Structure 1
Amino acid sequence: MDLSSEQSSIQSLVNKMKVEMFSSNCDTHSFISPSAYDTAWLAMIPDPHQPSQPMFKNCLDWVLHNQKDEGSWGDCDAHGMPTIECLPATLACIVALKKWNVGTVCVEKGLGFIEANTEKLLEAMDNHVPRPRWYAIVFPGMVELARTVGVRLIFLPGSSGVVSELFNKRQQILEKEKDADTYQNLPLLSYLEALAASYEIDENDIIKHLSSDGSLFQSPSATASAFMATGNKHCLAYLLSLVERCDGGVPATYPMDGELIKLCLVNQVFRLGLAEHFIEETEKVLAKVYRNYMNQESWAKPSNLVAAQQALFKDSLAFRLLRMHGYALPSDSFCWFLQHEDIRDQIENNQEYFSCAMINVYRATDLMFSGEYDLQEARSFSKKLLEKTVSVGTRDQTHFISSNLRGVIEHELRLPWFARLDHLEHRMWIEEQDSNVLWMGKASSHRLSCHLADELVRLAVQSYEFRQSVYKNELEELKRWSKDWGLSDMGFGREKTTYCYFAIASSCSLPYDSDIRMMVAKSAILITVADDFFDMEGSLIQLKDLTDAVQRWDSKGLSGHSKIIFDALDNLVREIATKYLQQQGRDIINNLQDIWYETFASWFTESTWGKTGRIPSMKEYLETGMTSIATHTIVLPASCFLNPSLPISKLRSQQYESITKLLMLIARLLNDVQSYQKEKDEGKINSVLLYLKENPEADIEDSIAFVREILDEKKKEFLQHVLMDEFSDLPKPCKHLHLSCLKVFQMFFNSTNGYDSNTQMLQDINKAFYIPLEVGNSNPPKPLPLQTGAKKEYLKINSYFNRPSMHYMRRSFATRQISWPASRDGGLGKMFMPPKLRFCFT
């Protein structure tokens, strides 16, 4: 790959995206994909003055011109594949076209899509997962509506059972919720357009529930139905305003918070790994959002379920993005829901609807500081709800999430934020099929517009592949360096050249240039080799000689492994000092040598304890262990390159900055929790084992819990130093390097000692450097010969079900009788509305 031309291509696309996404004249509503379902409902409204014509012809034109190639209408996932939401959307669009007797070809293509894809799409809702409430209301409603305009629907055999079950589920929902005094879910009136003909609705009840803007729960489809039922002038005003604003395709919710849409864009940029390209633009958005939040006098309680969901989604997203960028937004900006029991009850009873909001709440609490008890409560609440959401089944069997969303939730719950490496997180989101989903709507997810989502993914793919190319080249160079200096063939200990480079490359974005990545990786390799030499190979005499040599910085008298380690160290220190002298005109070689000597001295102290059997106090152990973990040896020299105006002597003033000392302590304790058994077997000591010795009544679980409690508190304190300016005057890049280092240690020592394993990291390493991205739209596969065989199999099945003996099938269930005429070209037959329905069956 020509890296310079690839960089140029990336920059060209970045410039284009900046204009499309962040220019002042952009309409934020255009960033959200129009809802084919809601647009179709507006297209159905007849003109009061000319009932044979549609009132909103531009909506009908949108339906005519926005059918997908395969025949569907509605949103696709981030990889361009249809979702279950396409089925009711396609039926609604077919109905709109049939109503005005236009688009015959589009109707036929749409019916072909329904016939060919219903079974496949409904397989996502297998028998082990409850049917989604909204789908059980909307899909049967659209099936019935299609019948009323003479549409012949053909369902393949595999989908008939699920379709029947959805009708059953709808009946249960209608019977259960019709006379409910309080709404535990989105009110049935918000699905007015899809309710069964047997469900009697009072016109006054509709008008009573209209919002001040004339809408029915901010739903264009429900409001369109309300207007056709009542002729209410406020509904009409809402619809006219909507169409004027959107000019064709309308969103699933209107109005939408423009600030929320911009926050979603910023979030998308960050999680796809594109933050480095839009620094100035995203900062402007966040600064404006922060000003608006701080100008609010209070955090108002939302007036209804729809408002509560959007407010909680927005407020928790804003909190996380703003806090991550150093803005001191108070926690009650999104924890307000904890103080309102009715809203908490609504959330608990609407897990499906609030799932995206709860993910945002849980993510926001990743950035918790010491003493923020409301954030701890919000974390416990959201975690409990998310765990319940992904469990199989619920008490009333009405909650459902897609398998993709389930995977996202499980990832959030399984892997702590501190243990995630940015490069791999970016890959996960690029490959995630639902990465274009923003938040849940009434009958579909709000998604980024197809064009914008495609462009962002295309840019993310190019950027990721570019990084992979850079990283592969640097790793090969690092392997040569390690081999040339004899570090990869020491004959003892751990050979971790690839692990060390993987850690720095995957935890930091590209703005950390090649020199810094290589400096950090080389330092980590040397630390690993030297630490192993002190732990398992060298005698006390050899270790003292090496430590003394590092103190005077002279290899005289050294031989064998000691000489190899010192020579490689000397080469690295001189390389770093020379580059810094050339760039900044200052000599830092003595400072570098002093830092390395402190580290070697701490290793020698620990080796002396181990070989002589001396047991230090906890205080003495931690003072030495914080140095021997060697995080400062890595981050301080690199920080000088990240901010050249910062002298290394300042970094070491008063025995290191608080943020550096916190990093040293946390890294040591993370290592101790996962390494205590190995060190016990080797006759060594660490904080977990020391606690046991100092507290004879405790067991190993008590000791681990004690250390984890310290870790939890120190990580909160550390995060506050990283994110808030008043706690540290280190420049942001240096603080973020400290954070990256901590995340590496958390990743390696999260649940096991992954650093000591020779296999545990291999899959992640391959994903980071070698395995191509798996994105549906980036390189569409060529048709495979198997498709021909699949087509033949389909024709064989179709022929079977067209046999004369299959022409008329009858099946009764519950209070309904389903009739299935055999052939598609036969007469429509008698049309039954609830409680009797007729299905056409191939």
Structure 2
Amino acid sequence: MESSLASIQALVDQIKQEMFSTSNFYSFVSPSAYDTAWIAMVPHTQQSGCPMFKGYLDWVLNNQKEEGFWGEVGNDGLPTIDSLPTTLACMVALKTWGVGQKNIKKGLEFIHANSKMLLKLKGCHLPRWFAIVFPAMVELAQAAGLEVVFPIEIERVISNISFQRQQILETEELVDKYHYPPLLSYLEALPPSYVIHSEDIVMNLSEDGSLFQSPSATAHAFLATRNQKCMDYIESLVQRCPNGVPPMYPVDEELISLCMVNQIQRLGLAEHFTKEIEEILERIYRTYKNQELEVTKVNLVPAKIFKDSLAFRLLRMHGYDVTPRSFCWFLYQEDIMVHMEQNSEYFASVLYNVYRATDLMFSGEFELQQARLFSSKLLEKVLTLKNENDNLAILPNFHRVIEHELGLPWIARLDHLDHRMWIEVNKVDTLWIGKACFYRLSCMHNDKLMQLAVENYEFRRSIYRNELDELKRWSKEWGLGDMGFGREKTTYCYFAVASSTSLPHNSVARMIVAKSAILVTVADDFFDMEGSLNDLQNLTLAVQRWDGKGLSGHGKIIFCALDNFVSDIAAKHLHQKGSDIMENLQDMWRETFVSWMTETMWSKSGYLPSMDEYIETGMTSIATNVIALPASCFLNPSLPNYKLKPTQYETITELLMASARLLNDIQSYQKEIAVGKKNLVMLYLNENPQADMENSIAYVKEMLDEKKKELLKHALIDGFNDLPKPCKHFHLSCLKVFQMFFNSNNIYDSTADLLHDIKKAIYSPLEYQIPKPLKPLRPWPTKHNNESSKVQACFIKTFKYQGTKKFIGQQFTRTNSRMGCEKVIVPPKFNLCFI
């Protein structure tokens, strides 16, 4: 796909107008065909034989998939298990009002053709919600006169589902603290034999008139009780959500705003919506400061933890001073902890957000450590469920997201590749589970946003290809790409900087970082493996006086390339920023070459420095300062000139230098022992004879962990230093690059480990296709506009009560222009027809 800045900007302008309107919030919550069908079944309170909410019936008519089902699709494009009860509910809604015969026919054909595929492999491992809802929808469809049949091969599976439902009905209370969602929230799916008092329904209505914020259950509650509060809730829902019913209503509008910000960032689009994101987060932070901890109802616990953990991460990422207690409150409520463990399937997306929030852990934040251990344990359990019994099929593609999160820490991932994964994986983005369908609390079904994400990514990829070609030409021109020794890392260096942060499209900083890293690699290898002691001393002296006279061979090539590079940076800075930084740049490189020479002399003389002495020199020899700081001068706003001086480094720069050194030492100690270089792992063993290698590595890792937490705090929280925010974030990006290179081994030294990621980041197009827009709504069939020929309701559901107002049966009225009326009492029995 060829993209342009003009096309991208046009999409940005459209999305700003559409997305950031408070009246438009619910257009970004995916509709539930199941709940929409139930609202469509509500009869008109004043006009007999008509739906109360005709628009939702139109929605059902027009949102059937080409294959004949309603509901979600998995990552493979195939229907997921929720399509069975959802399709049954939608067909019942159409049958109720005598419309959509072709839709019903296609739906039945889908059920007949796919139930075996969807159910046979599941056995008795189907989720709780499915065991409750699916049998009820089969009964409902059969009572409506639909010929729902199943292949004989899955008779045992059907029996298991029926048995599982019976167990649930016999062992669970209507509302208890051990099951989520509570049984009463499935009111529309409970069999007539299940004793429910109307008072139980009314007593559990929320203040807004809903039954556990469930549109389908509330619709049924209205039919059962005729409670006006239920109708008020439904009418409010219809007014706010004209384009399909969400699985939960109302949804916290702050939560929707947070999800919008989260998705925009994860798609790599934050640079286009800076002002809008800041306005939302400022508003959220005002609420955060004024909130008080309060007891949360069990049915609202998932949404609250989801929101609180997401708010914590986003606010902390944007510099706000928030504490872990803002979302770790659940750690102090044992009943909620138990509840989450027992319902980990339903809390998967909540736990995922808790885990991601703990990525931003500062020193001493033990609550975050506890939350990380708890969430990772349960996420591993969710993956085990998926691997053992495919239970995670209820979360299409989400297992891949969880595996990615647990398998590679955030601090070791590069933004550009994360953006790509999020675009591709969110073809079926599911971050929540409704009680009978998938609940995408996100903006993924917003086609314009996805189009923008794809075009923006592809535009960046085209820039990266061109810049990498330019960098290769530069490296070859100066003789750095074919020195004949050491590591040729031109592509690695460019890939790392391009993928680690979303710098502007025409970024001078990106090329400065890449060229600096190439020069560092070549010079470091010259000191380690090629240069004689005399060559290295001459090169170091030449850099000190910044004069290459007398140099020859590789030393001359390195100095000439370095001199030209530094001069070019200084000239650009003088032209763009108006100040001369030549001397500052030279001083940093002088310091770096001295550190390399010092380590060379240690190796050749056999000198063992102290750990403190080694770290002081090693922080400089890792050369993150000459990579990060010159580039920071070209950010907007830029790094102040005086911050380039070696004696005036900010704490965050020193933390970056120390962290990079420790990362390298943990993964490279064996290689460095072999070539006689000093390493902190070995120096610790030398100073602590009682320790073994495992103790030494653990010590260095603990030191590294503290350095990273400190750096994270300096990079994220406002007020710790006077560096501009872009410069602080750039330091964090550099840390992520080193963490990526040295996460589990030293992949910087490999020749092939990064080739796949490089191909994805720079060369391979996205594996994503912009979805086709939905068909326009069909008009209501003409024959229904003529009162004399109107086909009356095929399936109006009423309830018959006796004395104690218990459900003892269901009465259905069929009205047909040819047959007249007939009443059928459907017994509370789960009858299935097999073929």
Distance 1:248 1:580 in 2: 53
Amino acid at match of 1:382: S
Distance 1:160 1:274 in 2: 50
Question: What are the superposed Cα offsets for residues 304-349 of structure 1, whole Å, 9 maximum, x if unpaired?
Answer: x221111110011011001000011222111111121121121111
- Residue 436 in structure 1 maps to residue 429 in structure 2: yes
The 1:448/1:357 distance shift into structure 2, 3 A limit, reads closer
Offset, 1:536: 0.9
Distance 2:190 2:510 in 1: 60
Offset, 1:379: 1.4
Contact in 2 for aligned 1:429/1:435 (Cα 8 Å)? no
Distance 2:21 2:173 in 1: 48
The gaps in structure 2 that reach 5 residues or longer are 774-823
Structure 2 counterpart SS, 1:33:
coil
Structure 2 counterpart SS, 1:353:
coil
Q: Residue in 2 aligned with 1:13?
A: 11
Q: Residue in 1 aligned with 2:266?
A: 271
Q: Where in structure 2 are the equivalents of 1:773-784 lying within 5 Å?
A: 773-777=766-770
Contact in 2 for aligned 1:832/1:838 (Cα 8 Å)? no
Distance 1:400 1:671 in 2: 40
Q: Which range moves more in the overlay, 608-617 or 232-241?
A: 232-241
Q: Residue in 1 aligned with 2:109?
A: 112
Distance 1:737 1:451 in 2: 28
Distance 1:201 1:54 in 2: 26
TM value normalised by structure 2: 0.89
Distance 2:376 2:442 in 1: 30
Q: Where in structure 2 are the equivalents of 1:209-608 lying within 5 Å?
A: 209-247=204-242, 249-296=244-291, 298-303=292-297, 305-392=298-385, 401-402=394-395, 404-433=397-426, 436-447=429-440, 452-511=445-504, 513-608=506-601
Which of 191, 198, 205 is equivalent to 2:193?
A: 198
Distance 2:674 2:827 in 1: 75
Amino acid at match of 2:7: S
Amino acid at match of 1:580: H
Distance 1:679 1:401 in 2: 49
The 1:122/1:274 distance shift into structure 2, 3 A limit, reads farther
Structure 1 counterpart SS, 2:439:
strand
Distance 2:757 2:772 in 1: 22
Which of 65, 68, 72 is equivalent to 1:68?
A: 65
Contact in 1 for aligned 2:80/2:393 (Cα 8 Å)? no
Amino acid at match of 2:517: A
Amino acid at match of 1:61: D
Contact in 2 for aligned 1:34/1:449 (Cα 8 Å)? no
The 1:51/1:248 distance shift into structure 2, 3 A limit, reads farther
The 1:337/1:400 distance shift into structure 2, 3 A limit, reads farther
- Residue 47 in structure 1 maps to residue 44 in structure 2: yes
- Residue 648 in structure 1 maps to residue 646 in structure 2: no
Structure 2 counterpart SS, 1:199:
coil
Offset, 1:766: 0.5
Q: Residue in 2 aligned with 1:33?
A: 30
Contact in 1 for aligned 2:584/2:644 (Cα 8 Å)? no
Distance 1:257 1:483 in 2: 57
Distance 1:15 1:536 in 2: 55
Offset, 1:680: 1.3
Contact in 1 for aligned 2:136/2:189 (Cα 8 Å)? yes
Amino acid at match of 1:85: D
The 1:831/1:122 distance shift into structure 2, 3 A limit, reads farther
Offset, 1:656: 0.6
Offset, 1:840: 4.1
The 1:122/1:733 distance shift into structure 2, 3 A limit, reads farther
Offset, 1:639: 1.0
Question: What are the superposed Cα offsets for residues 108-164 of structure 1, whole Å, 9 maximum, x if unpaired?
Answer: 1222333344344457x645x932111221122212211111111244577665444
- Residue 92 in structure 1 maps to residue 80 in structure 2: no
Contact in 2 for aligned 1:227/1:235 (Cα 8 Å)? yes
Structure 2 counterpart SS, 1:27:
helix
Distance 2:392 2:334 in 1: 21
Contact in 2 for aligned 1:138/1:194 (Cα 8 Å)? yes
Q: Residue in 1 aligned with 2:727?
A: 734
Q: Which range moves more in the overlay, 715-724 or 402-411?
A: 402-411
Distance 1:192 1:179 in 2: 9
Q: Residue in 1 aligned with 2:607?
A: 614
Amino acid at match of 1:498: T
Contact in 2 for aligned 1:80/1:777 (Cα 8 Å)? no
Contact in 2 for aligned 1:111/1:153 (Cα 8 Å)? yes
Contact in 1 for aligned 2:182/2:299 (Cα 8 Å)? no
Distance 2:290 2:715 in 1: 26
Distance 2:688 2:405 in 1: 36
Amino acid at match of 1:141: A
Structure 1 counterpart SS, 2:432:
strand
Contact in 1 for aligned 2:36/2:60 (Cα 8 Å)? yes
Offset, 1:183: 3.3
Q: Residue in 2 aligned with 1:177?
A: 172
Q: Which range moves more in the overlay, 684-693 or 445-454?
A: 445-454
Of all paired residues, the percent bearing the same amino acid is 61
Structure 2 counterpart SS, 1:366:
coil
The 1:394/1:218 distance shift into structure 2, 3 A limit, reads farther
The 1:277/1:508 distance shift into structure 2, 3 A limit, reads same
Distance 2:78 2:487 in 1: 45
Offset, 1:434: 5.7
Distance 1:249 1:14 in 2: 26
Contact in 2 for aligned 1:39/1:248 (Cα 8 Å)? no
The 1:435/1:226 distance shift into structure 2, 3 A limit, reads same
Contact in 1 for aligned 2:71/2:437 (Cα 8 Å)? no
The 1:394/1:531 distance shift into structure 2, 3 A limit, reads closer
Offset, 1:2: 6.5
Distance 1:76 1:393 in 2: 17
Offset, 1:32: 1.2
TM value normalised by structure 1: 0.89
Q: Residue in 1 aligned with 2:805?
A: none
Contact in 1 for aligned 2:497/2:514 (Cα 8 Å)? yes
Q: Where in structure 2 are the equivalents of 1:799-838 lying within 5 Å?
A: 837-838=831-832
The 1:773/1:162 distance shift into structure 2, 3 A limit, reads farther
Distance 1:142 1:34 in 2: 19
Contact in 2 for aligned 1:99/1:149 (Cα 8 Å)? yes
Distance 1:130 1:79 in 2: 21
Contact in 2 for aligned 1:831/1:837 (Cα 8 Å)? no
Structure 2 counterpart SS, 1:487:
coil
